[in-house]
Structure 1
Amino acid sequence: MHIKVLGPGCKNCVNLEKNARAALDEMNLEAEITKVTDYSEIASYGIMSTPGLVVDEKVLVSGRVPKAAEIKELLTELA
């Protein structure tokens, strides 16, 4: 699993990464987490507001910071 956190590195981006890591820990899942800060790459996902959460090249969330519990639900739906 490859997770990307899209955004310029703001507080919300940091919190999104933290929540994603917490969700992975709670689910005992391994994943590579990458931060994407390049605006052209962020735009290529069709995201107009950050932060964004992309899992295996599928945009799951944009413009807000979901809690770890919501991220767990989204990851479960992908499995």
Structure 2
Amino acid sequence: MEIKILGTGCNKCDDLYDNVVKALSKAGKEADIEKVENIVTIMSFGVMSTPALVIDGKVVISGRSAKVEEIEKLLK
């Protein structure tokens, strides 16, 4: 599984990253996690509002952070 956190390094972006790590641990899953801060790369995903969460190439959350439980459901 490949996960990308799209954002320019704001607090919400950091919160989303932390919650993804926690959700992976709770779900007993492993993934390659990458923080993407380059605005051109972020825009290439069609994301206009950050933070955003991309799982296996698909944007699943955009413009907000997410709670651990919500991310855990997305990982299944």
Provide the TM-score with structure 1 as the length reference: 0.94
| CA root-mean-square deviation | 0.5
Q: Which residue of 1 aligns with 2:7?
A: 7
Q: Which residue of 1 aligns with 2:25?
A: 25
Cα distance in 2 between the residues matched to 1:52 and 1:65: 7
Aligned: 1:44 with 2:44: yes
Counterpart residue identity of residue 50, structure 2: T
Following superposition, the deviation at residue 75 of structure 1 comes to 1.3
Unaligned segments of structure 2, at least 5 residues? none
Unaligned segments of structure 1, at least 5 residues? none
| Shift >6 Å, 4+ stretches | none
